[in-house]
Amino acid sequence: MNRSRIALFLLVLFILSGVYIWFQSNKSQETNIESAAVIIETPVFNSDSAYAHIAKQVSFGPRNPNSPAQIRCKDWIVEKLKGYGWQVKIQEFTSFRYDGYKMKGYNIMAQFQPQIQKRILLGAHWDARSIADKDSVDKNKPIDAANDGGSGVGVMLEIARLLSETTKKPTVGVDLIFFDLEDHGEPHDFTGNPSTTSWALGSQHWATNIIPENYRPYYGILLDMVGARGAKFPHEGSSMQYAPGIVRSIWATAADLGYGNMFIDEDAFGISDDHTAVNEVGKIQMIDIIDIRPVNGGFDFGSFHHTHQDNLSTIDKSTLKAVGQTLLQVLYRE
C-alpha cells in the first residue's frame, strides 16, 4: 500500500472514530437527560381534598390575630395533624404590629418520621391580613385570605394526610411549619418609613427560637399564595440569592411533571417573606414558591391581593394540583 493510500485510510479511520465518539457521547447525554426526568411513583395529590382544607379555614372567618377565628383555626390545624399521626408542637409568642398593636401568635410545627436524620421542611403562613388595604371598600376589615394564607395550609395538610396513609413512604423525614402573624405589615398607602421587619413576625420568632432544639433540615420550601387561578411561579429573587440550586431543581421537577406553564423559567424581584428570617437568622436554606405574575414588563401579586376578592372564588384546583404533586415528587426524589 503506498503512502497516499495509507494516509487516506488513516484519515477515514480518524473521521469514523470521531463520529463514533460523538454518537456515544450524544447518546450518553440523552440517557442522562432521560434519567433525570424519570418520574418517581408517589401518592396522587388530591386537589379536591386540598380545596376542602382551604374552605374549612375560610369558614372560621378571617384568621387575624386575637380573634376567635384565629383560635378555632389553630385548634383545627393541630387536630388534623395529630389525627394524621404527626408529632405536633405549638410555639406561642407575642409580637407587635407596625402601629404598636399587641398580637398573640402561634407557630405550629409538625414532624413525620422524626427518627430519620435527613429532613425536608415545608412551610406556609396560616394567618389572614387584618385589613383590605388594596380594596376600594371595607378597607379596614380583615380578609378571607383563601389564597394568601389558606392555600399553602391546604396543600400542606393534604400532603400530611397522604404521607400518613400511603404504604410507600419517602426516604426523608418531612416537617411542616405553619407560621402565624406573617401578613400584618404597613398598609399599601402607608406614608411613613416602612420597617423591613414588620412582616413575617412568626417566622422571625421561630428563626430566633427554633423548635425542635438543634433542628437542621436539609433545606426548606415556603408556600405563599399557591392556589389562585392563573398563578405563575417565577424564580423569586431572594430564593435565587439564598439557594439557586434548590430553586432550579424544584422548577425542573415541575417541568418534568408538565407544570412548566406555572413554574416559569423567569427571574422575579426578591421579597421579604417567611423564608427571609429562616435563611438569614436561622441559617437554614429555604426557597419561596410564590405567585408573582408577569405584567407589563414587571411583576405583581394579582388584582385580588390584600382585597376582599381573596376568597374561595380565586382558588383553582389545577393550581393546587400542580404545586402539591410537584412537592410530592421533590420529597420522593430525595
How is 89-149 classified by DSSP, letter by letter? EEEEEEEE-TTS-EEEEEEEEEEESTT-SSEEEEEEE----S--TTSSS-TTS----IIII
Give pLDDT, residue 32. Answer: 35
31 CB burial (10 A radius; 0-12, 13-18, 19+):
exposed
Give pLDDT, residue 298. Answer: 82
Model confidence pLDDT, tens digit, residues 36-87: 578 999 999 999 999 999 999 999 999 999 999 999 999 999 999 999 999 9
Q: Is the pLDDT of residue 253 over 60?
A: yes
Give pLDDT, residue 232. Answer: 98
Cα four-point dihedral sign 271, 272, 276, 281: positive
User: CA-CA distance, 206 to 114, in Å (whole number)?
Assistant: 19
Mean pLDDT within 87-102? 98
User: CA-CA distance, 313 to 307, in Å (whole number)?
Assistant: 13
- Residue 170, Cβ neighbours under 10 Å: how many? 22
Cell triple for residue 334?
Answer: 430525595
Report which of 109, 141, 126, 110 is spatially closest to residue 54, judged by C-alpha positions. Answer: 126
133 pLDDT tier (thresholds 50, 70, 90): very high
* Residues 6 or more apart in contact with residue 326 via CB below 8 angstroms: 250, 253, 254, 257, 259, 263
Give pLDDT, residue 191. Answer: 84
Which superfamily is assigned to 44-333 in CATH?
Zn peptidases (3.40.630.10)
User: 119-125 and 102-112 as β-strands: parallel, antiparallel, unpaired?
Assistant: unpaired
Give pLDDT, residue 13. Answer: 52
Q: Is the pLDDT of residue 21 over 80?
A: no
Alpha carbons within 13 angstroms on the beta-carbon side of residue 153 total 31
Report which of 247, 250, 249, 241 is spatially closest to residue 280, judged by C-alpha positions. Answer: 241
Per domain, the residue ranges of the chain are: 1-34, 44-333
Model confidence pLDDT, tens digit, residues 147-190: 999 999 999 999 999 999 999 999 999 999 999 999 999 998 88
Report which of 291, 272, 305 is spatially closest to residue 128, judged by C-alpha positions. Answer: 305
Q: Share the mean pLDDT of the chain.
A: 92
pTM of the model: 0.89
| 284 or 22, greater pLDDT | 284
